[in-house]
């Protein structure tokens, strides 16, 4: 039975060669990549990450990924426009840290939530330094709008 399958496959390959379907394939006549390198068990993971241009941090366990993200907070928030956006970014990251702390998986590594006030202070200092270097003035604060009075105040005045 297997002989018939092999014969059928060989026949299909032979007819495809005769039709020229294997001519002008990419890499034709070139040596196979990695041919003279030692065998690596995770070659396919590395090639996938390289081919898809994915960061190698994806291979790290969750607590190490979270610690790296916490370390990179100043670089990540540098270009955010408002303090509210910085706090939202830190809040989202802290939510992920707390979720991991509630149900830890992987190695036991100490991961602490980031201090939003400290991140905002660093963000402001970096923003002020860059403005001083470029000589640009800070944007004017948004106009304060007076909030609406509650309906109960109007009602109390009538009574």
Cα(42)–Cα(86) distance, rounded to whole angstroms? 38
Domain ranges of the chain: 59-134
The overall pTM is greater than 0.75: no
Count of C-beta atoms within a 10 Å radius of residue 145: 6
* Secondary structure letter of residue 129 according to DSSP: H
Q: Give the pLDDT of residue 140.
A: 61
| The pLDDT of residue 154 | 60
- pLDDT of the residue at 130: 85
**pLDDT per residue as tens digits for the range 79-135:** 999 999 999 999 999 999 999 999 988 888 899 999 999 999 999 999 988 888 877
- Around Cβ 93, how many Cβ atoms within 10 Å? 20
Task: Tell me how far apart the alpha carbons of residues 53 and 110 are, in angstroms, rounded to a whole number.
Answer: 29
Per-residue confidence band for 24, with pLDDT thresholds at 50, 70 and 90: confident
Say which residues have a Cβ less than 8 Å from residue 70's Cβ, sequence separation at least 6.
93, 97, 111, 112, 114
3-state DSSP call for residue 23? coil
Give CA–CA dist 82/16, Å, rounded.
Answer: 62
What are the tokens at 156? 């109390």
Question: Would the pLDDT of 16 be above 80?
Answer: yes
Q: Which of 45, 82, 47 is nearest to 60 (CA)?
A: 45
């Amino acid at each position: 039975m297997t002989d018939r399958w092999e014969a059928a496959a060989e026949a299909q390959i032979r007819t495809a060669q005769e039709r020229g379907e294997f001519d002008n394939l990419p890499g034709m006549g070139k040596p196979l990549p990695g041919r003279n390198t030692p065998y690596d068990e995770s070659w396919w993971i590395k090639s996938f990450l390289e081919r898809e241009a994915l960061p190698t941090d994806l291979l790290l366990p969750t607590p190490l990924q979270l610690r790296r993200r916490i370390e990179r907070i100043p670089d990540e928030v540098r270009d955010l426009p408002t303090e509210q956006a910085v706090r939202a970014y830190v809040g989202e990251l802290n939510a992920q840290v707390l979720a991991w702390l509630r149900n830890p998986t992987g190695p036991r590594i100490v991961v602490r939530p980031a201090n939003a006030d400290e991140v905002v202070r660093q963000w402001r200092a970096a923003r002020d330094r860059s403005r001083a270097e470029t000589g640009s003035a800070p944007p004017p604060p948004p106009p304060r709008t007076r909030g609406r009075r509650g309906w109960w105040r109007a009602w109390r005045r009538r009574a």
